Amino acid sequence: MEEINSGNKSKGRLYIVATPIGNLEDFTFRALRILKEVDFIACEDTRQTIKLLNKYDIKKRLISYYQPREQRRIPQIIQILKEGKDIALVSDSGTPALSDPGFRLVKEAIKEAIKIIPIPGASALTSALCASGLPTDKFLFIGFPPAKKEAAKKELIALKNEEATLIFYLPSRKMQFFLRLIEETLGNREVVIAREMTKLYEEFLRGKAKELVERLKNINLKGETTILIQGNK
């Protein structure tokens, strides 16, 4: 067990703490302890983090750390760590530094010889993959596709011969657009849409890309989703 209040350390430690992706009960005992013991918590949206902290009666000083302002916050956070204070980095949900600005802070902390300690837990990526029914022995996580159509199309074309299961994060409002783009570039492949995971209305939608376009035509999806695409056979 790490001793985070050790008096003989010269620099603080940066804890990368996974938080629930929806259901607030999906939180590890270790993560809970770390958030109670660190000096500061760096978070994307203080309003979201406060909900989690209130549930577990945690009172901590928060540092707002989010894109595109992360470059302004990094020097402040690094300085606090250099002064011997411990900081927990959290995202709005799931594991920090995966498709969010956390990796920039980690990179800078490593440059400053600050110890990085991962606290594993919930992740939309692994949660969606294990329940998808698509091959899990080989997968490629891409994150959010480019916002513009031509750039997204180019990225998909580059992945056409990839045999691994492809995994993207996607705003639900772009689902129809992206499904059509999949059919256009990769063909009518098997697709799994994971939405509202761990929440009351959790749903996995499975089918061919063209079929899902039709099924979702009159449905207004909200929030962010994880979309998985069968690799090239």
CATH number of the domain residue 111 falls in = 3.40.1010.10
Residue 56: its pLDDT value, please?
A: 95
Residue 159: its pLDDT value, please?
A: 98
Do 82 and 110 sit in the same domain of this protein?
A: yes
Strands of the sheet with 203-208, listed across from one edge: 139-143, 165-171, 224-229, 190-195, 203-208
Q: What is the DSSP letter of 23?
A: -
Angle at 38 between CA 117 and CA 58, to 5 degrees: 125
Cβ(144)–Cβ(168) under 8 Å? yes
Residue 166: its pLDDT value, please?
A: 98
Which ranges of the chain have pLDDT less than 50? 1, 3-8
Angle at 77 between CA 72 and CA 80, to 5 degrees: 140
Residue 134: its pLDDT value, please?
A: 98
Do 128 and 114 sit in the same domain of this protein?
A: no
Q: Helix H segments across the chain?
A: 29-37, 46-55, 70-82, 102-111, 124-132, 149-158, 175-186, 209-215
Residues in the chain: 233
Identify whether 23 is part of a domain: yes
Do 113 and 31 sit in the same domain of this protein?
A: yes
List, for residues 31-80, the tens digit of each pLDDT value: 999 999 999 999 998 999 999 999 999 999 999 998 877 888 999 999 99
List the domain range (segments joined by +) for residue 156: 124-229
Identify whether 30 is part of a domain: yes
> Using CA atoms in the order 217, 154, 167, 212, what is the torsion angle rounded to 10 degrees?
20
End-of-domain residue from the set 84, 119, 154: 119
End-of-domain residue from the set 76, 101, 119: 119
The backbone torsions φ and ψ at residue 220, rounded to the nearest 5 degrees and listed phi first, read -95, 95
Task: Classify strands 165-171 and 139-143 as parallel, antiparallel or unpaired.
Answer: parallel
CATH number of the domain residue 158 falls in = 3.30.950.10
User: 228: helix, coil or strand?
Assistant: strand
Residue 9: its pLDDT value, please?
A: 64
Task: Classify strands 190-195 and 203-208 as parallel, antiparallel or unpaired.
Answer: antiparallel
Based on the number of CB atoms within 10 Å of its own CB, is 200 exposed (0-12), middle (13-18) or buried (19 or more)? exposed
